[in-house]
Amino acid sequence: MRFVLKTSYDADIRLFKHRAQAVWYALLLLLVLATPLYFVAIGDAYLLGEITGVLILAIAGMGLMLLTGHTGLPSLGHATFMAMGCYVNINLLGAGVPWIVAFPLSGLIAGFFGTLIALPVLRLHGVYLALATLAMSILTGDFVVMAEPWTGGIAGAAVPDINIFGIEINRYSTPYKFYYLVLFVAILLVWFYRNLLRTPTGRSFTAIRDSEISARAMGINLTRTKATSFFLSATAAGLAGALFGHSAGYVTNETFDLVMSITLLLMIVIGGLGFIPGAFFGAIVVGIIPVAIANGRSFLATTFDVNINVPGLESALFAFILVCFILFEPMGLYGRWLKIRTYFELFPFYRKDMFKRQKSYLKTDRVQ
């Protein structure tokens, strides 16, 4: 008789922790694959377009999640890489490059420039790093105007349709095809992200996030690991920017602004820092709020004849939600789900202090 000892380490590196988790993810995959069928039945493509937009935001959010959530490097400049991916994709398509080649190239070129930017910027830490990326995001609109021959400047640029082996894909004329394309990219990125975290490189990201000094003591090359994280993060943002351009159909110097970068950071904080599903939960919240505000205004106007046109209402609501999550649920929506699940798994032995926030740090971290 053969005995196999299964350690916690073995469970940690598996793609799925157990068979039940794999079944639940398979059911979720069937649900998202069948989603367009419902909208075909009711003849409404508007909500399908909103769901597609949520998936695009989730792709960009996973890029920022890798950098901020798993490597511990705050960034307020990911709209810059989205803009770079979008405009590179537009120019490659305009030059006659097939979309199947132009799309991945747009992400890789955005990742390459992200690495060049990261090498000097990553010498900074904490709030100083965030300020450096914030400045980069503020200057994005000016760079777009200065590069008018390639970006269209203030007038903007139209995004060509997607053509894959003779199959035309457009967000407005063929929204179902565009949804499946974005879904395929999102699933592929999730698969790559999840496997990356199981590798020594992914574990190096987490080690740097927890303590840079301890990571250096274990032999991790901080500069190379951070640059790798920045490259992968910018690549994902570039791919999301290319898809965002196809979704919008037309982009200007105001499309990828500072608000976009702040929205991405808000998204991963709300969803749950350090969790891949957190990017999707945050994208759902960020995607739903503008639609909910618009529907609420329409309902009040038609039912009670009340017109609410408050400038900055959406931004104020985002800020309020962010502050509430930081104060009351720092682990985000996915963290709340983990607490609920743990409560029922351990009932009646669950204790509130099991998820108590850590307020003490290593002495090595205090000297950074």
Predicted pLDDT at 25: 87
Q: What is the mean pLDDT of residues 201-216?
A: 90
Predicted pLDDT at 5: 41
Q: What is the mean pLDDT of residues 320-341?
A: 84
Predicted pLDDT at 38: 85
Say which range, 100-114, 240-254, 306-320, 354-368, has the weakest mean pLDDT: 354-368
Tell me the β-bridge partners of 163: 168
Q: What percent of the chain has pLDDT over 90?
A: 39
Q: What is the mean pLDDT of residues 176-198?
A: 94
What tokens appear for 366 in the block? 């205090």
Q: Is there a contact between 342 and 334 (Cβ–Cβ < 8 Å)? A: no
Query: Dihedral of the CA atoms 16, 17, 22, 27 (nearest 10)?
Result: -110
Nearest in space to 259 (alpha carbons), one of 361, 89, 141, 145 = 141
Say which range, 27-36, 96-105, 348-357, has the weakest mean pLDDT: 348-357
Q: Is there a contact between 87 and 238 (Cβ–Cβ < 8 Å)? A: no
Predicted pLDDT at 320: 84
Say yes or no to pLDDT of 10 above 60. no
Q: Letter for the amino acid at 67?
A: L
Nearest in space to 248 (alpha carbons), one of 111, 18, 57 = 57
Say yes or no to pLDDT of 170 above 80. yes
**Using one digit for the tens of pLDDT, what is the confidence trace for 127-140?**
888 888 888 888 89
Say yes or no to pLDDT of 68 above 50. yes
User: Using CA atoms, how far apart are residues 320 and 305, in angstroms rounded to an integer?
Assistant: 27
Say which range, 114-118, 222-226, 251-255, 346-350, has the weakest mean pLDDT: 346-350
Angle ∠(137,141,144) on CA atoms, nearest 5? 120
293 or 156, greater pLDDT: 156
26 or 42, greater pLDDT: 26
Predicted pLDDT at 3: 40
305 or 365, greater pLDDT: 305
DSSP element (H, E) containing 168 = strand 167-169
